Chains A and B, each alone.
Chain A
Amino acid sequence: MSCSKRGHTSLAGLTRQAVARAVRLAIGIGGVMAATMALATPTDIDTDFADSQVLIELPETPPLAVRPGTSRGLADQVQTLLQQARSSGDPRYLGYAMTQLQDWPESAIDHRLMILRATLNQSLHQFDQARTDLLRVLEDTPSPANYRQATLTLANLELVQGRYPAANQACQQLKRQYHDLVAQNCLAQVQARTGQPAMAYQRLQVMLRSIPSQGPGIQAWTEGTLGEIAAQLGEEVALDHWHRALDLDPNDLYTRTLATDWLIQHQRFDEALELTAGYADVDSLAVLRAIALTRLQHSREAEALIDSLKQRFEEALWRGNLLHRRDYARFLLDVTFEYLPALEQARLNWQEQREPLDTRLLLRTARAAGDTPTVGDVFTWLDRNGQTDARFGRPADEG
């Protein structure tokens, strides 16, 4: 009796899943087709521009034509390019760095270049390739600096992907080598996501006060981490940490995104606009800005920004890589209200990245789309890691 009942239920469940998958697929394809339709006509060519008109301000770009002759020269250049990519959020610099590294013979790639290549690959969401390079450096390098750097980068990679035991191992390794604020940051992040956020917050707070500063970069990073943990605990003080981090490093786009997201979640749209002013080029901040503009009914600016974002996502779909699924899913969920395509994107994003922002996005899209099994799956994973977050809501929360 019970056996047959169970069989029946699972069969129905399977069918329902299959139907849901088919619907999702159809809608996904429909979405892509709709996106491509808008691109059907090339724009008209403007032949009538004045000689004196300034068409574009060129950004500072290192002389790419001059290829460095030594691996050290190359590493310096790649490092500069990656730094530019980070502070501007402009993926063209990643492309330049990629070309520089690809032109260098594989046999001449040293450990420092390997770490930089891993950093690049992580930025391109090629996590497995990044991990391979880092593990090789950890195995072979005689240099403590390279070892430490590879450990830190690996810890971050594992943390982003939600592989907490591996992240913890790397952080412990850092701490054994050099017990400083870097190691403490690393450990605090892992602890916070595995059930001990309050303790992690207190310890890091104490460390920040007691250890002499290792420079504004590390201080800003620590404030950012404190902000994240405070937000996870649902503490308003998160915003203070983030503001301090942004004062030290205004180009920390990720911290800016987290802070804006928090403001929007608390319906503080005016402050969200302030924080995103001048950052409409950055996809994640542009999406959040579009949400704030829509909620405040600033319809003209919202419309222009939404059009621009649509074009960007369409082009990313067309090119077939570098689609920022996290941002695209958020856009579909909160701007165009297309829940099923949003869920599909959020799900694909969560397969790669499991930071709280990604997890919350998947939960919200799944709830909006009425996909209770997915909500259940996410909470199962969270429970397994002991992760709690005030921003997630409870398993049974609707909407």
Chain B
Amino acid sequence: MQILRLLPLLILLISADRAYAHKASDGFLYLDLGANEPATLQVELALRDLALVIPLDQNRDRQVTGEELRLARPDILNYLQSHLTVLASTARCQLIARQWGLTRHSDGPYAATRFQLDCPGNALPSTLQYHALFDQDGLHRGLLQVNQDGDIRLTALTPEHRSLTLDAPTSPVWSTLVSFLYEGIIHLLIGLDHLLFLLVIMLPATLISARAPSSASDNRFLSGLRDLAAIVTAFTVAHSITLALAVFKVVTPPIAWVEIIIALSVALAALNIRWPVLGEKSWKLAFGFGLIHGFGFASVLAELTAGTTQTVAALAGFNIGVEIGQLLVLAVTFPLLYLMGQRRWYREAAVPAVLVAIIGTSLFWVAERTAAI
């Protein structure tokens, strides 16, 4: 008897896999991350699926009418708000419902809501988490389409993988690196304080020609170049260290003070050429002040990296950009100054005049930046 109790059912069941129908339960999510418009997210859940978690069918006649759907609207919105999370880095973006109504897919009507995403600091969304209906239907999927300026990507969110990181695949490491490299060059070239500092610490190397014996002009140029290389390397190593420390938030000194010290560093470096109170070794000076300048670069980089998760690539690119910018400046100015270094008027008039001008400018910056605090 027991055999017969179980069997009739399972004979039916053994052919269960042989014909499928309809479609499985899918939620549709369309995330639009346009460059010029605010980010939007359109979410569509089948009425049939929603009926499992929200009492859509108020009068229990196994039909959902337009009126019943309108009545259930606050519940649907609540459900979506509590089963969807959009993050910009770690901060939660607000989902502001802008439009709602119906859409259709091959298996029937869906309740659709279009949200505007309001992320803290207008940052771009970086993570989307989706939890709807997984607790009811193990085969439910969140079908997510991300449209990033026409670059379209499709993914499926599953009970095992409920969240998607948005930046990484759409902006490849390589392109992050290149774009930050460009930013690094630009920032060095338009950052007058860094340029002046570079000029000041370069000047002693151009004056070598005056002190060295005149018979070995080749050696003099090479020795100037060697000094220069040491200075630039020291500056680079130093600002790379503090830049990295600041980007990874190991040390974050107040930026206003950093800016003042950077301005002061330019004045001190200039003074040190005439009165070497800080020592004659330019590379040590370059290293010491390079540490301060690194924090300055970091503040710029922090603004630029707000929309990316690829901090390492950004840091590397930016750093390399700064170096390329430095080398460009040096390649143009050093030979010029070196040639002029052989003239008396350069050593005795031009350099002191330039130094005075630089000291004046940088002290003015110090005053200005102090006043701003």
The B-contacting residues of A in range 352-368, CB under 8 angstroms, are: 355
Residues of A within 8 A of B44 (CB): 42
Residues of A within 8 A of B66 (CB): 49-53, 55
Residues of A within 8 A of B143 (CB): 315, 318-319
A148 to B1, CA, bound (A): 13
Instruction: Report the minimal beta-carbon distance from B369 to chain A, rounded to whole angstroms.
Output: 50
Judge if B25 is at the interface, Cβ distance under 8 Å.
yes
The answer to whether A156 and B108 have CB atoms under 8 Å apart is: no
Given A55-B69, A145-B5, A319-B141, A152 contacting B100 (CB threshold 8 A): no
The answer to whether B18 and A152 have CB atoms under 8 Å apart is: no
A19 to B247, CA, bound (A): 49
Judge if B343 is at the interface, Cβ distance under 8 Å.
no
Judge if B17 is at the interface, Cβ distance under 8 Å.
yes
Residues of A within 8 A of B12 (CB): 83, 86-87, 217, 221, 249
Give the interface of B toward A (CB within 8 A). 2-26, 28, 30, 42, 44, 47-49, 51-52, 56-57, 62-67, 69-70, 99-109, 112, 114, 135-141, 143, 145, 147, 152, 154, 156
Residues of B within 8 A of A45 (CB): 42, 99-103, 112, 114
Instruction: Report the minimal beta-carbon distance from B50 to chain A, rounded to whole angstroms.
Output: 10
Instruction: Report the minimal beta-carbon distance from A318 to chain B, rounded to whole angstroms.
Output: 5
The answer to whether A91 and B23 have CB atoms under 8 Å apart is: yes
Query: CB < 8 Å: which of B5, B23, B26, B63 contacts A56?
Result: B63
A386 to B64, CA, bound (A): 55
18 contacts between A and B (CB under 8 A): A43-B104, A51-B70, A55-B65, A56-B48, A64-B136, A85-B16, A86-B16, A89-B22, A145-B5, A149-B6, A178-B3, A217-B8, A217-B9, A256-B19, A281-B21, A281-B107, A282-B21, A312-B23
Given A45-B102, A252-B15, A92 contacting B20 (CB threshold 8 A): no
Given A56-B109, A90-B21, A152-B11, A319 contacting B63 (CB threshold 8 A): no
Judge if A88 is at the interface, Cβ distance under 8 Å.
yes
Given A91-B21, A119-B13, A282-B21, A56 contacting B47 (CB threshold 8 A): yes
Residues of A within 8 A of B20 (CB): 89, 91, 282-284, 322, 324, 327
The answer to whether B101 and A88 have CB atoms under 8 Å apart is: no
A96's nearest neighbour on chain B, judged by CB, is B137
Given A46-B102, A56-B47, A90 contacting B22 (CB threshold 8 A): yes
The B-contacting residues of A in range 232-254, CB under 8 angstroms, are: 249, 252-254
A64 to B136, CA, bound (A): 7
Instruction: Report the minimal beta-carbon distance from B60 to chain A, rounded to whole angstroms.
Output: 10
A320 to B5, CA, bound (A): 38
The answer to whether B63 and A58 have CB atoms under 8 Å apart is: yes
The binding surface of chain A is classed by DSSP as: helix
Residues of A within 8 A of B114 (CB): 45
A44 to B114, CA, bound (A): 10
Given A145-B3, A218-B8, A319 contacting B24 (CB threshold 8 A): yes
A311 to B28, CA, bound (A): 13
Give the interface of A toward B (CB within 8 A). 36, 39-40, 42-61, 64, 79, 82-83, 85-92, 94-96, 98-99, 102, 112, 115, 119, 122-125, 143-146, 148-149, 152-153, 156, 160, 178, 182, 214-215, 217-218, 221, 249, 252-254, 256-257, 279, 281-285, 308, 311-312, 315-316, 318-322, 324, 327, 355
Residues of B within 8 A of A320 (CB): 141, 156
Residues of B within 8 A of A254 (CB): 15, 18-19
Query: CB < 8 Å: which of A58, A124, A279, A285 contacts B51?
Result: A58
The binding surface of chain B is classed by DSSP as: mixed
Query: CB < 8 Å: which of A99, A284, A315 contacts B135?
Result: A99
Residues of A within 8 A of B9 (CB): 79, 83, 217
The answer to whether A58 and B25 have CB atoms under 8 Å apart is: no
A182 to B154, CA, bound (A): 47
Residues of A within 8 A of B16 (CB): 82, 85-86, 119, 122-123
Residues of B within 8 A of A58 (CB): 48, 51, 56-57, 62-64
A310's nearest neighbour on chain B, judged by CB, is B106
A398 to B371, CA, bound (A): 90
A182 to B4, CA, bound (A): 11
A258's nearest neighbour on chain B, judged by CB, is B18
* 12 additional A-B residue pairs with CB within 8 Å, beyond A56-B63, A123-B17, A318-B143: A40-B145, A43-B103, A43-B104, A45-B101, A45-B114, A53-B66, A54-B64, A96-B137, A122-B16, A217-B12, A221-B11, A322-B23
Given A64-B136, A98-B138, A160-B17, A315 contacting B65 (CB threshold 8 A): no
The answer to whether A282 and B65 have CB atoms under 8 Å apart is: no
Given A49-B101, A51-B70, A119-B16, A152 contacting B152 (CB threshold 8 A): no
A198 to B141, CA, bound (A): 47
Residues of A within 8 A of B56 (CB): 58
A280's nearest neighbour on chain B, judged by CB, is B21
A94 to B2, CA, bound (A): 26
A82 to B14, CA, bound (A): 10
Query: CB < 8 Å: which of A40, A56, A217, A282 contacts B64?
Result: A56
A285 to B64, CA, bound (A): 28
B52's nearest neighbour on chain A, judged by CB, is A64
The answer to whether B139 and A322 have CB atoms under 8 Å apart is: yes
The answer to whether A46 and B101 have CB atoms under 8 Å apart is: yes
A249's nearest neighbour on chain B, judged by CB, is B12
Instruction: Report the minimal beta-carbon distance from A305 to chain B, rounded to whole angstroms.
Output: 11
Given A42-B42, A123-B16, A253-B19, A318 contacting B154 (CB threshold 8 A): yes
A55 to B46, CA, bound (A): 11
The answer to whether B63 and A57 have CB atoms under 8 Å apart is: yes
B71's nearest neighbour on chain A, judged by CB, is A51
The answer to whether A102 and B138 have CB atoms under 8 Å apart is: yes
B150's nearest neighbour on chain A, judged by CB, is A40
B17's nearest neighbour on chain A, judged by CB, is A123
A253 to B21, CA, bound (A): 9
Given A45-B99, A52-B67, A55-B109, A119 contacting B14 (CB threshold 8 A): yes
Residues of B within 8 A of A47 (CB): 99-102
Residue with the highest number of chain A CB atoms closer than 10 Å, among B22, B49, B70, B135: B22
Residues of B within 8 A of A79 (CB): 9, 13
The answer to whether B103 and A145 have CB atoms under 8 Å apart is: no
A49's nearest neighbour on chain B, judged by CB, is B66
Residues of A within 8 A of B138 (CB): 95-96, 98-99, 102
Residues of B within 8 A of A146 (CB): 6
A99 to B106, CA, bound (A): 24
